[in-house]
Amino acid sequence: MFPYDPIYTGISDIQSDSLKMVAIYAEQFLRFMPRNIQNFPSHGLDHSINIIKLINEFTGNWNLSVTEDEKYILYLSAWLHDIGCICDREHHNEVSYQILLQDESTCNIINNVSANALYNLKFTINSHSSSYDIEEVPKNLNGVRLQLICAIFRILDACEISCTKCPKAVFDLIGPTLKEDPTAYSFWDGHMKIQLVTYKEPDIIILTRGSNENTEKIINRLKKEIDSVKSIFQENGVCIPQISVIDHSLHQ
């Protein structure tokens, strides 16, 4: 069903099994997310799967210990945070959670694994959007450092900016129409020049090729998201990420 099977680490078998069912539910919506492709980079299935990879890389390369329940919330958020885009992109964070609540079966799956996970998701899903005041998230809830987990997820969602969002083969076909929409063109052009995002504390390393003003705008948005959660990282004794950009085209 998926381009590759997501790998879940640091959680229990029952949590991992439940994520397989949650993924099947989320995929119903995510397969339709790349609508209006001329205007928006992909927020479909690949976006969620790539965030799962980023969760694994970040927690594995940062001096950060997360519990099984905290890791489970991050994985659930990766699958569910954008399903609301099917109805309303501007307020999709709020809509995503409301859609989830309407599906009794999926809610039961989550509740049967952890009685508190569904309520915790209300905050991780809503606060991944910069329009949500993350300071309103409870610092600790039901044994989870919820504000910190929300802050981490906001950053990792913002880190999903590489060229996989904007395949060159697709751009070659739609590029002429994008020139009529400078904003859309700048998104595609900027993302296509970002080759990889990886982590080595204290750096978020961004590998680019021929970066330009469009790429810088995308990276600057990530910097703003980091700024929005700095105090939360500091309060929890977690190293604040620094952006390190390496342009391969300058080293050839």
**For residue range 203-235, what is the model confidence (pLDDT) as tens digits?**
999 999 988 999 999 999 999 999 999 999 999
- As a whole number of Å, the end-to-end CA separation of the chain is 39
What's the Rg (C-alpha) of the chain?
18
The long-range contacts involving 129-132, CB below 8 angstroms and separated by at least 24 positions, are 129/92, 129/93, 130/154, 130/224, 130/225, 130/228, 131/93, 132/93
Q: How much is the average pLDDT of 149-170? A: 93
Q: Are 4 and 49 in contact (CB under 8 A)?
A: yes
Residue 130 CB partners (closer than 8 Å, separation 6+): 154, 224, 225, 228
Lowest average pLDDT, out of 6-20, 66-80, 163-177, goes to 163-177
194 phi/psi in degrees, rounded to 5: -95, 110
In angstroms, the Cα distances linking 98 to 94, 126, 251 are 7, 10, 48
> What are the residues facing 242 on neighbouring strands?
203
Q: Which ranges of 102-235 would DSSP assign to H, the alpha helix?
A: 104-113, 117-127, 146-158, 168-178, 182-192, 213-235
Q: How many CB atoms lie within 10 A of CB 88?
A: 13
Task: Give which of 61, 55, 58 is closest to 76, Cα–Cα.
Answer: 55
Q: How confident is the model at residue 64 (pLDDT cuts 50, 70, 90)?
A: very high
**For residue range 12-50, what is the model confidence (pLDDT) as tens digits?**
999 999 999 999 999 999 888 755 555 566 777 889 999
Q: Are 2 and 45 in contact (CB under 8 A)?
A: yes
